[in-house]
Every structure is written in structure tokens, then in C-alpha cells.
Chains A and B, each alone.
Chain A
């Protein structure tokens, strides 16, 4: 219950991500140089793209928002001892839930928008709880069930859109009613029409909620207890199965909100998609990068979102193909994920052992297949 500062952002784990990021950027630079591109120009245009104009700053924030939610989603499950690969599916269900209410219901804005948000959150939450139920009561490994549920979610929402919400002649749903929109028109205008929406505030509130829920409430105490040691939790009279379902529900809720705001705040419709958008999978990387701490996730999502959005600039400004831009992102995640390498490099005698830079580079390149 003590050491709040440490819990918000673990000091021991803050140096490692920092160095990992630098290493990732260096490896990315090496890859670009090897491919005949100018890494300095590329990184400059990346920064340009992120901070270059009001519009770009706004759009970067837009990019970061769903990553905060999915990062919180994965981290919340992780804190309860669960590996939620299903944030992707919960994201899609959240988006669909919100879209359905946004399109089909017609109400005054002050009811409609909250209702649509709640519907999206619930849809994601229940989708997550399904995984939790299968784990708790039927012993199905949550990794497997949630991967499967990702596909089911994708095709289920495609079906719902095509069957009930289809805009004639288009591969997408009808537009949601204006009353369900959570876009911030005034702010958007101020940001040169970047797609600003209220979800960004919700994401920040989510970060705070994540902390309060886990470390200040009785529920959070039980959730963490089950996460660390389910047996001891059972001995202490906690209902482990119910706690697992609860944890997956809350985890799904976060992911569902990510999808909700993509629909209600950004696109105002939902497309029939051939593959899932990937925010849920990116959430795994974000939670990892952020060390499953609330502030860490916020920073990680910011980095991740900025890199993703800025990588477009690399293609424009320095002709770097998007594939290479993804390698750079992959390299950063790779180094963060492999704490061992960074800790080893931090040792004073590292230069004696570092005699095979090609191997390092290959390892970096090997993860460019980023989901």
C-alpha cells in the first residue's frame, strides 16, 4: 500500500525501456542505412510528422488514445495473472456495440452519446468476460480462447454491419447519428481539423482508474492477490473463479472503450474489415513497454502512437518504405521485450563481448513482422 510513486512508474524498470528505445532507434537507423536510406533525414521527418503542425499533433493524440486503452486492458489482465491476447476482439466488439447504438437509436445527445459509450464498453467487457468464464469455469487457457474469440469478433461484427447497418453501395455501416458523436468539433477546428474527441479524456481517466482500482480498492486487492498467488487467495477466502471473470470483464471494458471511441469519435461509422485493426495487439506491446504500470502505459502509448503516426512521415520525407518504418518500431519493442540484452549491455564489460553487431541487427530485423 506504500510507495505510490514507485508503483506508478517503477524506477528500476524506467532506465531499461529508455535505453531499449535508443537501441531500437539505432538498430532501425542501421537497417535504413543498410537499405540505402538516410536515417537522419528519416528520423527528422518522423519528428516533423509528429510535431510539425497543429493537425499532426492532434492526429498523433488521436493515434495514442486507443493504445492507452488497449495497453491498460492487457496490463489489467496481466496484473491479475492473465494474458489477454483478446484485446483485439474486445476492441472490435466495443466498436460494434457503440456503432449499433449510434446508428439504430435516436435520442437526444446527452443520453445518446453516453448510452453508445456504455454499450461499447459493455460489449467489450462481456467479450472479455467470456474468455474469463471459459478460463475460470471450464479450464480453457485464456490465450487460446481469446485468440479464437478475436476472429469470431471480427466476423461477427462484419456480419452485423452487413446485415443490419449497411450503407447501400458501401463496405461500411451507415453513419452514426450526430447525437451519438463524441467528436470535439471546436477543438478539432482549433487543431486544423484533426479528429479530436472526448475519448482522449476518458483515456486519461482510465489511467487514473487503473491505479485506483488496483491499489486502492478491496476489489483490486483481491484481483492482484489472485494474480500473484491464486492458491493463497483461495486460502484467504477469495472466490478465485469469480475474480478471474471480473478481471477479464474489466480488461475487456478498457479494450472495448478503445473501439468505442474509434467509432463514435473518429470515423463515425464502422467498416467491414478483412483483418482486424491491430490496436489490441499493439496494446500488448504498450503494456510490456510500460511495465504494466499506469504511468508507464501512458508514456508507452505515447511513444508507440507517435512512432506509428510519424512513420508515415518517414515515407514522405525520406522515401523510407513503411516496411522499414515498421522495422524501427519492431526493433524498439524487441529491445524492450528482451530486458536481458539491455541489462547485459549495461554491464561495464559489454564492449568486450559485443563483437557481432550483424547478429544484433538480424535479431532486430527478425521482428519486423509486427502484428
Chain B
């Protein structure tokens, strides 16, 4: 793919960027050839994003040189980057929800007439159709963005960069938000783009995707480029080792210990959503001591509501939740916490931490009322600090100190902090939702180890995840949810992807062992 006579699309030479107290990029060299997909791999906080922000003109490097198509350049802002043909698709899309697809794509460089007063809507739509056809990026220009799927929104983002004439694309964690099918589709699109002469930088920490999609991989660790390898000449194991800096053992799950007594028991749980729409119906199952029960399903099929019902964050309309034999249906969250529930929420920023509180303060969140942390209404600061310090050390939360706010921590360390806090509560039941979302491989292994260790200690664990590999490697049993109901149960040791897929889209409802029609509709649940 690389040709010595053609200069590289992007060449970064000795890029160094320092922030107060941290060298985010330390003399990084990086080369993107024309027409290649080059993956940039590294743990959270390794410096990938900083490097790409430098390339996109959001940061200025302290040292080093940037060459675009062989020309040494200073990129002093995103508009200069766009001029140079660099386009960036951020992990969190930047689209105007109420605008149409076409409006979003042309936004900022609209084809206009009458001195900019009239937007040539037809022309804009035609241009979008043309681009869309050329690269196989299927979108409907007239739909409003709030109505389209996440996968299509991403295609809109890519089209946006192409519309501005980008031939160097930076994709930041593009698969983080996509479903399995959408990921496959994205991979095809990327291939198509490179065939048309575009060059692509793929920022990710998912090894599988790298192996599948990229031509070359550059690994960054602690601000330094560790090396660049051809994808076909490497393996997941080698990449993981490069990324973490030591060999990583893909986790072997511990010997299955016989589950004990029932900790969580749900019976006929139903919940009404907005406008009386049922979001959970007739959910019944239990979780025992020393057992991990996984919940599989496409996002939005009642998993969220199930968790809310168990943790007391939303009220159920019928059915019971029993914890340790006590009826805890519709009890407030505080009471459930005290009854021995630990909750590792899906959204750690919104629900798991108070980002502007110090790490120390966050470490007692939820447990702050216990006599260990407060007395006569006053906080026992010494005790809080001591405990927080202990947890930080025990769970290897990397921070300059517990007096720094949680906001300053990297995503992986924030998650470690939450897990440290929740496990230290001494819970009977752990509700973990997407516990490794957005984490790098080292942190994922850590989280998995801790959950398995908790299981060995006899905790009951309810695990909700959209990562099927994670679900099946950790769980003892997997329940599949669809349309707010449990379709059935699978033994985690015998993974059957076909059966799983059918259950996830509601084609098979194991409760009645009935294969439903192929009209594609969601099954009517049997009562």
C-alpha cells in the first residue's frame, strides 16, 4: 500500500505536548500512508486523543513537526485542518438533532443563493445523495437526525467530513455506540473509502476490530509510540502486550462454585413507561449467592428498567422484588443500598460519581451516612480520608491524590473508583451495568477479576452488558430480554449465537418453546 514515491498523507515527527504535570505526547512519530486504514491503539489516557487533537488543530504541539502530503504545516485550528482535507468524526456526535440529515451535512458551508439569504435545499440534498451513493453511505437526506439510528448518525458525520472535501479521516472510537450489524457495515464503508483513495486513522482500543479492519497499527503507551506493526503480522495477544506493557492473560474464569441461597428474587415484575406503555412485563427470576446472572439483549429492551426496579430508582406497577428474603418492592434507593445492594451504574459520569467532588468525597458516596463516616451529623473527615486512601491503593486507582476531583481521573480510573466504593460497602447483591464500557483492556481485565472474585466470596451478581463476549465469559447463566420480557435462559458454558440472536429479537420465546412467525414483529407476550 505504501509507495516510496508518494509522500505519506500524514506524517507526525517527534510530537511532544505537555500539560501541567503531565507529558501527554512524548516525541511521537506517526505515519499515515495514502489509502490505508491505520489504527491508533492505546489505553485510556495513553495520549491518542491528544495526538489526534493536535492533528485536527485543537491543540498546538510544544515540539515536533506535522507534514500533510509531504508539506510541513502548522495547523492552528480546526478550520485549517479542514482546509487541509482532514476530517474528524468524534465519539460523541455533533449533530443538530432537529435538522435534517442534509441540513446537518451542509451546515457551515451551505450552498446558498441571494447573497446567503436563501439556502438551496434541493442542491444540498442532491449533493448529499451523490456523496452517499459514491461511498455507499446509505442515508436519507430528508429525515431529521433525531429520527434516525445511531449507525446512520455516524454515516452522517462521515458524510459531513467528505462534503467538506476530507481525504484524511480521523474516527474516534467509531464502534463504541454501534450494534454488531452496524459495526460490520462500518467496516465495509471504511474499505470502500480507502478504495476511493481516502486515508483513515482509526482510534480504538478494541483489538478484534483492529485485527479485522486495519492495515497497520501504531500502539501508544503513556504518551510514547511503542511501535508500528502490520496488522497481518501481529496478533491480539501481541497488541495487548504492547498496549499494556506486559503480557496480558486473557482471563480464565474460576472454577464454578455451587450457588448458595437466593439473594434477589423477582416475581412478575411489570413497569409502565411513558404514556402507560409497558416497559417491563412479567419478569421473574432470581440470583443466588456466588452466582453471576447475565442479562443479554439489544439496548432498550427493558434492561435499564429492570435495573431501576431492582435498585429502587423507578417504581414497578406490579410484581415483587425480594432481597435476602425481605420484600423490598418500590422501596427508596437509600433503603435498598442499606439492604445490601451495590450498584455499578451504566453512566459513571451521570450516576456513578459527582465529578466536581474530590475523589475522597466520592469514595463515601452512598455510604456517607454510616457511623464510620459521620457522627452527630458531622463528617468524620479523618476516617473518610483514611478509607479513601486505602481503597485507592487497594484498587489501584491512579490519581495524584484523593483531594483531586473525580473529573481529573481517566475513564478507567473513574470506573475503578466506583467499583472500589461499591465493593467496599460489603454488599450482598451487586448490580453491574456495562461495567467495562469504554475501558481499555487492562482496566477491563481488572474489572472482570474483581467481579469474579466477588462471586467467589459468595456475592450475588446481576450483570447487564451489551458485550456478548463479556456476558458469556463472566456469567453462570444468561437471561435474554426482548421487549421488556425475559425470553429465556441460556447456560453460559454452551453459547449458541444463533439461538441467542433469535431470542434477542424475540423470534424465540423459550418460555413457551414456540418458534414465532417470521413477519419480523415483536412477539405478543404470552401471559
| Interface positions of A (Cβ within 8 A of B) | 1-3, 216-219, 221-222, 224-225, 228-229, 231-239
B522 within 8 A of A: no
Minimum distance in angstroms from A344 CB to a CB of chain B? 17
Determine if A1 and B350 form an interchain contact, defined as CB atoms under 8 angstroms apart: no
Determine if A238 and B343 form an interchain contact, defined as CB atoms under 8 angstroms apart: no
From B311, B351, B365, B379, A1 is in contact (CB under 8 Å) with: B379
Determine if A221 and B368 form an interchain contact, defined as CB atoms under 8 angstroms apart: yes
B365: which A residues are within 8 A, CB to CB? 225, 232, 236
> Which residues of chain B from 372 to 388 have any CB-CB distance to chain A below 8 Å in the complex?
374, 377-379, 381, 384-385
Complexed CA–CA distance, A217 and B361 (Å):
12
> Can you sample 16 A-B contacts with CB below 8 Å?
A1-B379, A1-B381, A2-B403, A216-B379, A217-B379, A218-B377, A225-B357, A231-B350, A232-B351, A232-B353, A235-B352, A236-B366, A237-B336, A237-B369, A239-B332, A239-B334
B90 within 8 A of A: no
Minimum distance in angstroms from A219 CB to a CB of chain B? 7
A3: which B residues are within 8 A, CB to CB? 403
A216: which B residues are within 8 A, CB to CB? 378-379, 381
Q: A218-B377, A221-B379 are in contact. Are A235 and B313 (CB under 8 A)?
A: yes
Minimum distance in angstroms from B39 CB to a CB of chain A? 34
A225: which B residues are within 8 A, CB to CB? 354, 357, 365
A233: which B residues are within 8 A, CB to CB? 354
Q: A216-B379, A234-B313, A237-B366 are in contact. Are A1 and B354 (CB under 8 A)?
A: no
Complexed CA–CA distance, A208 and B281 (Å):
53
B85 within 8 A of A: no
A231: which B residues are within 8 A, CB to CB? 350-351
Determine if B337 and A236 form an interchain contact, defined as CB atoms under 8 angstroms apart: yes
> Which residues of chain B from 357 to 412 have any CB-CB distance to chain A below 8 Å in the complex?
357-358, 360-361, 365-366, 368-369, 374, 377-379, 381, 384-385, 402-403
A234: which B residues are within 8 A, CB to CB? 313, 333
Most buried by B among A219, A224, A233, A236: A236
B385: which A residues are within 8 A, CB to CB? 1-2
A238: which B residues are within 8 A, CB to CB? 334
B338 within 8 A of A: yes
Size class of the contact patch on chain B = 35 or more
Determine if A219 and B377 form an interchain contact, defined as CB atoms under 8 angstroms apart: yes
Complexed CA–CA distance, A224 and B253 (Å):
41
B468 within 8 A of A: no
B335 within 8 A of A: yes
Taking chain B's interface residues, is the majority helix, strand, or loop, or is none over half, making it mixed? mixed
Q: A1-B384, A1-B385, A225-B357 are in contact. Are A235 and B368 (CB under 8 A)?
A: no
A229: which B residues are within 8 A, CB to CB? 350, 353-356
B61 within 8 A of A: no
Complexed CA–CA distance, A211 and B125 (Å):
59
B345 within 8 A of A: yes
Interface residues as binary, B437-452 with A (CB distance below 8 Å gives 1, 0 otherwise): 0000000000000000
Closest Cβ neighbor of A212 among chain B residues:
B378
Minimum distance in angstroms from A246 CB to a CB of chain B? 13
Q: A1-B385, A228-B357 are in contact. Are A217 and B332 (CB under 8 A)?
A: no
Q: A1-B379, A1-B385, A235-B343 are in contact. Are A218 and B369 (CB under 8 A)?
A: yes
B350: which A residues are within 8 A, CB to CB? 229, 231-232
Complexed CA–CA distance, A1 and B357 (Å):
9
Most buried by A among B353, B354, B368: B354
A218: which B residues are within 8 A, CB to CB? 368-369, 374, 377-379
Complexed CA–CA distance, A236 and B357 (Å):
14
Complexed CA–CA distance, A233 and B368 (Å):
11
**Apart from the given pairs A3-B403, A232-B351, 13 other A-B contacts in the complex at a CB distance below 8 Å:** A2-B360, A2-B402, A225-B357, A229-B354, A232-B350, A232-B354, A235-B343, A235-B345, A235-B352, A235-B366, A236-B337, A237-B369, A238-B334
A222: which B residues are within 8 A, CB to CB? 368
The 8 closest A-B pairs by CB, nearest first: A237-B334, A236-B366, A2-B403, A218-B374, A237-B337, A236-B365, A235-B351, A229-B354
Closest Cβ neighbor of B347 among chain A residues:
A231
